Amino acid sequence: MDEGVLESAMDPFGFSLTGFLVAWAISAVIVWVASKLLWAHGGILTAVLAALVGAVIYAVTGMFLAGLIGSLLALLGWLLALKYLYHIGWLRAGLLALVIWIFAVIVSFFLPTLPGPF
């Protein structure tokens, strides 16, 4: 049997669990480093949860709303999640999100791209 056919049969939804776990781990490390730079309270488990919540918020929002409005609502949801998880205000949540985004862009230049929703 062709390996490609076997892979697609084992992965009917078009994503790799391994790829998701690797991307989640990388995202969690980025969130953790950014939170430490901004003196946000929370350890690696908070960063793991923040990375997962952010991915879920963007995925669910993207299923229902596309374009600028969907992106802005997803960003607002993620800022709310960061605010709640790290017990910080809106301004620090926005700064944390900005630093995470900058780090993610930098890391993306050095790591191979995994298939995903973006």
pLDDT tens digit string along 19-48? 788 889 999 999 999 999 998 888 999 999
Domain tally, the chain: 1
- Asked whether residue 80 is domain-assigned, the answer is yes
Q: Look at residue 118 and tell me whether its pLDDT is greater than 70.
A: no
Residue with tokens 């781990």: 25
- Asked whether residue 91 is domain-assigned, the answer is yes
- Asked whether residue 7 is domain-assigned, the answer is no
Alpha carbon of residue 53 to chain centroid: 8
- Asked whether residue 5 is domain-assigned, the answer is no
- Asked whether residue 104 is domain-assigned, the answer is yes
- Say if residues 5 and 70 touch (Cβ distance below 8 Å): no
pLDDT of residue 36: 93
- Asked whether residue 94 is domain-assigned, the answer is yes
Range of the domain at 29: 15-110
99 token code pair: 């630093």
Of 4 and 54, the structure prediction assigns the larger pLDDT to: 54
pLDDT of residue 19: 77
Q: What is the DSSP letter of 11?
A: -
Q: Look at residue 8 and tell me whether its pLDDT is greater than 70.
A: no
